């Protein structure tokens, strides 16, 4: 039970017996879980109470900001609250709101659906879409369908000279990315990963680490 639900139970306890008559706060915007329905919630806007319903594919958990206080259904723990899981599908979108693979093949992009309209989004360079986590992931974690060398554009050497700087990071030897001083290649069991140094950092070829620019 999160803070929204606790507040909802205390402040809107009358709901079990009938419609609530007022909001606990006179100002601001507050959302409260519906005690029975996972796809509904109560919204107080400057003291005005409304019953809201999440869009298809979304549910309420008090912390979801995907759309109108609701979160993706796979991210929400409804506990005792009920909802109708029926999908309202349209071409490219199972639910009206959701994140989807753009095909069965390994892909560096994915589909984000809003109001049933699919939009193609790109993963950060070097990553591929992983439906298991509904997000982008290292290609070497999806070896059943991805070829990390093709995705990353680097082949890890079978051996690393023990005297080379790369060997210092064994079993995860590192290499410079030609033409990109903001990233590095890292090899994990022979599979490459493209790692970004992060903001304001540059890859130092002599130390093979990301340093403050
Ligand atoms: C709430 O009321 C304040 C003050 O009257 C106003 O500035 C604000 O826009 C209102 N907020 C909403 C969400 O209506």
Please report, for the chain, the start and end positions of each structural domain, with discontinuous segments joined by +. 3-75, 98-147, 154-212
pLDDT mean over 21-46 = 93
C-beta of residue 203 within 8 angstroms of C-beta of residue 195: no
Residue 196 pLDDT greater than 90, yes or no: yes
Residue whose CA is closest, atom 13 of ligand 1?
45
Residue 189: Cβ within 10 Å count: 9
C-beta of residue 108 within 8 angstroms of C-beta of residue 151: yes
Residue 107 pLDDT greater than 60, yes or no: yes
Percentage of the chain surpassing pLDDT 70? 90
Nearest atom (ligand 1) to Cα of 46: 1
**What is the model's pLDDT at position 65?**
86
**What is the model's pLDDT at position 2?**
47
**What is the model's pLDDT at position 22?**
85
Centroid of ligand 1 to alpha carbon of 43 (angstroms): 14
pLDDT in tens, 2-18: 444 444 444 454 444 44
Query: For the chain, give me the number of helices (H) and strands (E)?
Result: 2, 15
**What is the model's pLDDT at position 1?**
42
- What residues does ligand 1 touch, defined as CB less than 6 Å away? 27, 29, 45-46
* Residue that the structure tokens 């994140």 belong to: 99
**What is the model's pLDDT at position 12?**
52
- To the question of pTM greater than 0.85 for the whole model, the response is no
Residue 162: Cβ within 10 Å count: 9
**What is the model's pLDDT at position 153?**
96
Least confident window among 20-24, 55-59, 89-93, 107-111: 20-24
């Amino acid at each position: 039970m999160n803070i929204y639900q606790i507040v909802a139970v205390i402040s809107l306890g009358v709901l079990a017996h009938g419609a609530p008559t007022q909001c606990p706060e006179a100002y601001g915007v507050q959302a409260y879980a519906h005690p029975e329905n996972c796809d509904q919630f109560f919204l107080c806007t400057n003291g005005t109470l409304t019953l809201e319903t999440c869009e298809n594919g979304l549910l309420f958990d008090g912390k979801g900001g995907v759309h109108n206080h609701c979160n993706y259904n796979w991210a929400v723990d409804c506990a005792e609250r009920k909802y109708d899981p029926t999908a309202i599908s349209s071409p490219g979108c199972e639910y009206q709101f959701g994140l989807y693979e753009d095909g069965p093949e390994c892909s560096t992009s994915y589909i984000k659906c809003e109001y049933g309209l699919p939009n193609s989004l790109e993963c950060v360079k070097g990553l591929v879409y992983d439906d298991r986590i509904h997000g982008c992931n290292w290609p070497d974690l999806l070896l059943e369908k991805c070829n990390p060398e093709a995705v990353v554009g680097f082949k890890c050497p079978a051996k690393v000279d023990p005297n080379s700087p790369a060997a210092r990071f064994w079993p995860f030897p590192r290499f410079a990315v030609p033409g990109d001083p903001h990233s590095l290649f890292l090899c994990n069991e022979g599979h490459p990963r493209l790692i970004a140094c992060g903001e304001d950092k540059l890859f130092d070829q002599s130390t093979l680490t990301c340093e403050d620019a």
